[in-house]
Structure 1
Amino acid sequence: MSSDSGNKTRVTMKDVARHAGVSQSTVSFVLNEVTDVSIGADTRQRVLEAVEKLNYKRRPQGMARSVSHPIIGFLVDEIATSPFSAITIEGAQEAAWRHGHLLEVAMTGEDAEYEKAILEKWRLQGVVGVIYCSILTRAVTPPEQLAQMRNVLVNCHAEKMPYTAVVPGEVLGGFAATEALLNKGYRRIAFIDGEMWMEAAKDRLTGYRNALTTHGVPIDEALIREGNFLPSGGYKQTLTLLNDGLIFDAIFCANDLTAVGCYEALKERGLRIPDDIAVMGYDDQEIAQHLNPALSTVLLPHREMGQWAVDYLLSPESADTKRVYKLECPLVLRESI
């Protein structure tokens, strides 16, 4: 199964909500014709016009209630601490329903005994397969019961036993972000990373280094700083770069929250983005488009990974040789570079 299946951009309910100037809940209520919620006629019309203009494809409707749908299990360690798990689940649910399957989600909190209990329940129920997902891209040791069912790992990979997994192509994402800055003429590019024990931080840094080397730009280690993937780290490290008297014309922040702090520090010093210093983020969180100027960033394909995992589970390839698939992290260019 080719990783290209994760590269197609599709219109989401979030896009419809943004275009119509309403919340995703409002879009959901309108599309599902919920009548016990007070939504004005004008608002309903805006939503429907946005759906038509964007060519938003709703989930298949009209399946008979009496039909017993096959179930796919979705096991995830955390949901509430990050928006990304919810996006992956939504993508998997859409793909499952498209195939006439239901998605059953369980959050484990990394409790090994709870994982085993859920997997045993699903085994006895005869689920079609199980998606095993981690909130952080990392190596995992899945419980033995997982190998007894058709399975796929999402945003993680197995340390020992062979499992098929799908993860973001972080090295290429870091390369693309840095290359976008280089193509704009920036040469002194600082990099504020996350905590280096995280695979995402290591891989994005590798992509940054590879891009500079490929374009013949010397790597200045003084321009590389370790942050914490939070605004506080972006703010602190941006000020440190400025206070150290280093010359740089762009900053690549390893995630969008880091870029929020970077923006704050630059504006505090009276520096304009991108006129004085350009800023690139990573992961395309909701806040990126609301910063001033709107933040250029890289999209993490969480929705696409969820969709890919379901399509893989239901394909003949799921019995083939196990490997790790990496999905493209596409650039989202806005006004900050």
Structure 2
Amino acid sequence: MSGGKTKKRVTMMDVAKAAGCSQATVSVVLNNVTDIKISSDLRVRVLDVAHKLGYGLASPIRRAGLEDIRGGCIGFIVDQLATTPEAVNAIEGARHASWENDVTILVAQTQGRAENERKAVARLLQAGVQGIVYMSIFTRRVSLDAVFDDLSVPLVLLNCYTSDNRFPAVVPDEMTGGRTATTSLIKKGHTRIATIVGESFMEAAQDRLAGYRTALAEAGLNYDDALVAEGNWTPTSGFEATQKLLSLREPPTAIFCQNDKMAMGCFMAIGEAGLRIPQDISVVGYDDDELSRHLRPQLTTLELPHRPMGAWAIEELAKKSRSGHRSLHKVVCTFIARGSISRKSA
């Protein structure tokens, strides 16, 4: 095991902060949007910062092999675009992995309907795509339509996988993420740690809970059903679950919320109870939703890795991968320390 530290991935927010502008401005500059008026000095500053930080044109995402698809097209099939930012983030990661090679990404939304998927495949192939990325908005096992079995171009699965692993696939490492979130609280001296789970039928909720249990076991702490509260990813469910947890005879000193929206509700319930974050109770979220930076204190959370997952998918297509048994590739969810956790008070 190497003794060196893993280099932190540079984000668009890092570029915006260093350049003294908004993320929207950084996006406009790096996407070379010309119909929005931005001063030449600001454009130069953003590009200079992006290069210096290793984002965009100087990004470590770039790999050898993408030259093989230079000037071509990649098809991106996704069931939903509008419900959450994950699809957009994945497409953004794919775009950054290919932008130096003049690769066009064509996106089709199918709403999970097989008929729409067949039409999308036909039209993408007609457009001359050199590979297809198939994405599910929720991490899950998928049963692909027969149209994907005999494609003339390589296929990569993003945020989903098949039972036989016959296609390259990439998903977030949710179990490790849940373990990391819980361990961060254990390291602060907390021993009575609650968690608010998402909808139990979803793999993300199951794996994050498994990670929570693993962290407790590794620390020699007993798992307690009373400290596991049901939620459904919404702020309201986080608020109601936190109220139940705080009403326990021995309430928790820390709460791991399995997404940031539930954490927002958790913040509200803690405030209504007259308690302070993190002095009285620590809170960790998950997803690194935009709202996590606007809560006070800012929310400690884990970042869903959809951008690097999108980049990985493009790299796999550049290898011209074809059918065959393949292992499932998991990408780590980065821990982002902010102000919502502290050492357990005596």
Equivalent in the alignment of 2:88? 86
- The Cα of 1:144 is off from its aligned counterpart by 1.4
Normalised by the size of structure 2, how large is the TM-score?
0.85
The letter of the residue matching 1:117 is: K
| Aligned pairs for 1:31-110 within 5 A | 37-39=36-38, 47=46, 50-51=49-50, 54-58=53-57, 69-110=71-112
Greater Cα shift, 237-246 or 36-45: 36-45
The correspondence for 1:145, drawn from 144, 147, 160, is 147
State how far apart, in whole Å, the 2-side matches of 1:270 and 1:319 are: 58
Tell me which amino acid in the other structure corresponds to 1:328: V
The 10-residue stretch of structure 1 (97-106 or 280-289) with the greater mean CA deviation from structure 2: 97-106
- Count of residues paired in the alignment: 325
Distance 1:15 1:311 in 2: 24
Q: Is residue 2:24 matched to residue 1:25?
A: yes
What is the one-letter code of the residue matched to 2:203? Answer: E
Q: Which residue of 2 aligns with 1:223?
A: 227
Q: Is the 8 A contact 2:263 2:284 kept in 1?
A: yes
Q: Give the counterpart of 1:282 among 286, 300, 319.
A: 286
Match of 1:240 in 2: 244
Distance 1:34 1:124, change over 3 A: closer
Cα distance, 1:240 vs. partner? 1.1
Structure 2 letter corresponding to 1:58:
L
Over the matched positions of the two proteins, sequence identity in percent amounts to 46
- Which whole-Å CA distance do the structure 1 matches of 2:31 and 2:255 have between them? 44
Q: Deviations over 1:45-79 (max 9, x none)?
A: 7646644663433389xxxxxx9822111100011
Equivalent residues of 1:312, 1:318 under 8 A apart? no
Give yes or no for contact 1:193–1:226 (8 Å, CA) kept in 2: yes
Offset from partner CA, 1:191-223 (integer Å, 9 cap, x none): 001110111001100000011011100111100
Aligned partner of residue 246 in structure 1, secondary structure: coil
The residue type paired with residue 25 of structure 1 is A
Alpha-carbon separation, structure 1, partners of 2:40 and 2:315: 38
Q: Report the CA distance between 1:286 and its aligned residue.
A: 1.5
- The 8 Å contact of residues 120 and 145 in structure 1, kept in 2 or not, is answered as no
Structure 2 counterpart SS, 1:128: strand
In the superposition, relative to structure 1, how do residues 122 and 56 fare at CA in structure 2: closer, same or farther (>3 Å)? Answer: closer
Cα displacement string for residues 239-295 of structure 1 (whole angstroms, at most 9, x for unaligned residues): 111123333110000011111010111011111111111001111112212211111
- Deviation string, structure 1 residues 107-149 (Cα, Å, up to 9, x no partner): 1111211110111223344422111001100111112122223
Aligned CA distance change for structure 1 residues 58 and 90 (closer, same or farther; 3 Å): same
AA matched with 1:167: V
259-268 vs 88-97, greater mean Cα deviation: 88-97
Counterpart in the other structure of 1:155: 159
Relative distance call for 1:143 and 1:205 in structure 2 (3 A) is same
**SS at 2:200's partner residue?**
coil
Deviation at 1:314, TM superposition (A): 1.2
Q: Secondary structure at the match of 2:57?
A: coil
Q: Which amino acid aligns with 2:211?
A: G
Residue aligning to 1:171: 175
Alpha-carbon distance in structure 2 between the residues aligned to 1:315 and 1:297: 34
Q: Deviations over 1:89-114 (max 9, x none)?
A: 01111212344422111111112111
Question: Which ranges in structure 2 are unaligned for 5 or more consecutive residues?
Answer: 1-5, 63-68, 342-346
Gaps of 5+ in 1: 1-6, 61-66
Query: What CA distance in whole angstroms lies between the structure 2 residues aligned with 1:30 and 1:152?
Result: 29
Q: Contact 1:190/1:251 (CA < 8 Å) preserved in 2?
A: yes
Aligned match of 1:186: 190
The answer to whether structure 1 residue 134 and structure 2 residue 133 are counterparts is: no
Q: CA–CA distance in 2 between the matches of 1:52 and 1:162? A: 38
1:159 Cα deviation from its structure 2 partner: 3.8
> CA offset at residue 307 of structure 1?
0.3
| Contact 2:257/2:285 (8 A) holds in 1 | yes
* Residue type of the alignment partner of 1:294: Q
